Amino acid sequence: MRALARERIQMYDQRVQEAVDALVERFPELPGDEALWPAIKLAYIGLLQDHKQPECAETFYNSAACQVLHRRHYHNEFIFWRPAVATEHLEGEAPTYRCYYPLKDGLRATLREIAASFELANPWEDLARDLRNVVRALRQHFPRPMRARPSLQIQVHGALFFRNKGAYVVGRVINAHRELPFAVPILQNERGELYLDALLVGESQLLVLFSFARAYFFVDMEVPAATVSFLRLLMPRKARAEMYMAVGLAKQGKTLFYRDLHYHLRHSTDQFVEAPGIKGMVMLVFTLPSFPYVFKLMRDRFAPPKDIDHQTVKDKYLMVKLHDRVGRMADTLEYSLVALPLARFDPALVEELKRECASIIEFDGEAIVIGHVYIERRMQPLNIHVEELRRDGDEARLRAVLREYGDAIKELAGAGIFPGDMLLKNFGVTRHERVVFYDYDEIQPMSEMTFRRIPPARSYEEELSAEPYWSIGPIDVFPEQFDRFLVADPHAKEIFLAYHRDLLDPEFWKDKQARLRAGIQEDVFPYPDEVRFARPAAACRR
């Protein structure tokens, strides 16, 4: 699954390049003859009328056309700035979701019918037990006395959502005016038998499942627009652009995001300003306060002690894009030649851009054109969040977020990523108070690191030395030193170490490396352990 995920992310650009090469070879006049493009676009629109994925076809056209044309020729009549074909109520040969009516056959029989509808080849470990668990969990959300209305129905997406070790049944229960979104993960035991692991209920749990910090799903979609429309019934707060990305159509998500950005700029008046938090040595980060994203530009020169070049930073961001992010690394949108209205930039930010990023910006009339930019969901920096909780005396939330911080480091290590610079300022807190890593310039594969214990001092002079008295290689890491910089505040550090003192032990990191070498993919579920169904010890044995 991980290999397939990497291939799929890279496949789109490969297909675009093939199309561009074929176009230029067959029609060498295309790049310089603007007069051809309105007619080309018109002919292309004619091919979309019965297309099941017209929005994706338009995006593919834009990708190819923008590689053939120069940026100054991206006129709206040449490319699809707005969609030409409506996708609302677009359907394929089979319905996108199926409806089931528990009043007809009973709830348990209906759930059994849903499980059978996916025609999974593997046998079930104990389906009767799993269905009892689902019914029991469902009743907690419909406590007695709850009347089943004539409208009672269960709507289920017709295809499963696959990611990593699991597949997810996704749908909603409708009873009169009450709608309850849900997802049910299906996992396999060591014998390949299937079992239902949990019942995730409500928009908040589904938003975590479809989070921007997780790998994209694989889902069989004849009509992606119909799948996205169904998902937005369950999660109306999630942007359509993010929904397309969640189901693996990242380029379509980028297209919609860019349209959303310009639509928002047209309907707002605030200015782009530097993002709050400690300034990074590699990235200059700015944001539009009314728009929940940050824009990250590489500085022309990286201040010491940063000893990397621009290509290395790009490679790190690509590494994250292709890697399983296990809910702990923010997804990043990468754009080239982004034109934004100069009048919307705070003058101080413009001066900072001229000073720090002159090589990748240019001024074109009333626009500022950014040569290369990464865009991420805006989060509150963890150091600011911790400071606010300390100041407010919110001990419970402080403990929870510090535990999350250590869990994030451990889960990244288990997935094969060493974060490198693990300071609080390099992590963010989502609206669900999950801790997510977002500074990628020093990440490394766990397999390439050497975790060492600090050797004992051989003399009194060595013990008092201000500099390390031991040799340090370029890939050496000394976890015993982590307690000096991970959490500075004494009280917060005490809380953190109560949960995560093992992070200071080189053996913890070596064990992670050994498990990775053995091919063990650790379980990182996008839902808390307490919602998982109990299974007999024999069934759980690995």
What are the tens digits of pLDDT across the range 196-242?
Answer: 999 999 999 999 999 999 999 999 999 999 999 999 999 999 999 99
Asked whether residue 223 is assigned to any structural domain, the reply reads yes
High-pLDDT (> 90) share of the chain, %: 74
Same structural domain, 110 and 223? yes
According to DSSP, residue 442 is labeled T
Q: With left for phi above 0 and alpha for psi between -120 and 50, is residue 90 left, alpha or beta?
A: beta
One domain, residues 217 and 282: no
In angstroms, the CA 341 to CA 288 distance is 12
Adjacency order of strands within the sheet including 427-429: 380-381, 427-429, 435-437
Q: Are residues 275 and 242 in the same domain?
A: no
Is the per-residue pLDDT at 507 higher than 50? yes
pLDDT tens readout for residues 367-419: 999 999 999 999 999 999 999 999 999 999 999 999 999 999 999 999 999 99
In this prediction, residue 473 carries a pLDDT of 81
Task: Dump strand ranges (E) for 342-399.
Answer: 361-364, 367-377, 380-381
Q: Say whether pLDDT at 541 is over 70.
A: no
Residues 115 and 212 in one domain: yes
Q: Please check whether residue 518 lies inside any domain of the structure.
A: no
Indicate the residue among 378, 396, 420 that finishes a domain: 378
Clarify whether residues 371 and 386 are in a common domain. no
Residues 467 and 413 in one domain: yes
Query: 390: Cβ–Cβ under 8 A, 6 or more apart, which residues?
Result: 398, 489, 491, 492
Instruction: State the maximum Cα–Cα separation within the chain, in Å, rounded to a whole number.
Output: 84
C-alpha 326/C-alpha 165 separation (Å) is 12
pLDDT of residue 466: 67
319 and 283 within one domain: yes
Asked whether residue 374 falls in the same domain as residue 386, the answer is: no
Q: Which residues contact 273 (CB under 8 A, 6 or more apart)?
A: 286, 287, 288, 289, 346, 348, 349
- Residue 533 corresponds to which tokens in the numbers above? 């169904």
Check residue 69 and give its pLDDT.
82
Catalytic residues: 331
Q: Are residues 239 and 101 in the same domain?
A: yes
Give the domain range for residue 137.
97-254
Q: Span 349-378, mean pLDDT?
A: 95
Residues 56 and 117 in one domain: no
Which tokens is 87 given? 């996708």
Task: Say what the pLDDT of residue 542 is.
Answer: 34
Provide the pLDDT confidence category of residue 537 given band limits of 50, 70 and 90.
low
**What mean pLDDT value characterizes the chain?**
91
- 153 located within any domain: yes
Q: Of 422, 393, 395, nearest to 406 (Cα)?
A: 422
Measured from the Cβ of residue 42, the count of other Cβ atoms closer than 10 Å reads 11
Q: Enumerate the H helices of 27-126 as residue ranges.
A: 37-46, 54-68, 102-105, 107-117
What is the pTM (predicted TM-score) of this model?
A: 0.91
* Position 344 in a domain: yes
Q: Does 151 map to a domain? A: yes
Instruction: Let me know: does 242 contact 354? Beta carbons within 8 Å.
Output: no
The beta strands (E) that lie in 176-239 are given as 178-188, 194-196, 200-201
Look at residue 368 and tell me if it is in a domain. Answer: yes
Residue 20 shares a structural domain with residue 165: no
* Distances from the Cα of 501 to the Cα of 83, 122, 425, 434, 472, angstroms: 53, 42, 20, 20, 23
Whether the Cβ atoms of residue 293 and residue 375 lie closer than 8 Å to each other: yes
Same domain, 246 and 137: yes
Out of 10, 40, 73, pick the residue that ends a domain: 73
Count of structural domains, the chain: 4
The yes-or-no verdict on residue 71 having pLDDT over 70 is no
Residue at 535 is within a domain: no
Q: Is residue 84 part of a domain?
A: no
**SS3 for 249?**
coil
